[in-house]
Amino acid sequence: MSEPKISMADLEHIAKLARINLSESEKTTFLPQLESVLEYLDVLNQANVDNIEPTYRVNDQKNVLRNDEVVESFDQKTALSTAPKTQDGYFVVPGTIRK
């Protein structure tokens, strides 16, 4: 077997960056698994891709966006007419940030 690609210190650093708290048993479980993933990446790195152009899409679609055109839209009163609750010309929704 080749030299390890990742050390315990590397794993601990990655976990810290990801803000994941790992127990000692999880570290010993995940280290060989991560090593296995890195070994597989070496297999992919051996693929000859010299004459292959980069692929940005996997199908032949080009731009699927519509043209940005100004069209008639609702006035404020119509837009708010079906809202369950409004106040001073705005939608009223439950708060998501609490002090």
pLDDT tens, position by position, 54-77: 887 778 777 778 888 999 999 999
- Which of 97 and 25 is assigned the larger pLDDT? 25
67 occurs within a structural domain: no
19 occurs within a structural domain: yes
Domain that holds residue 39: 8-45
pTM of the model: 0.47
Retrieve residue 10's tokens: 């590397």
78 occurs within a structural domain: no
Of 7, 51, 48, the closest CA to residue 30 belongs to: 7
Residue 78 CA to residue 8 CA, distance in Å, equals 61
DSSP state of 49: -
Residue 19 CA to residue 40 CA, distance in Å, equals 25
The CATH code of the domain that includes 16 is 1.10.20
pLDDT value of residue 1? 52
- Indicate the number of domains in the chain: 1
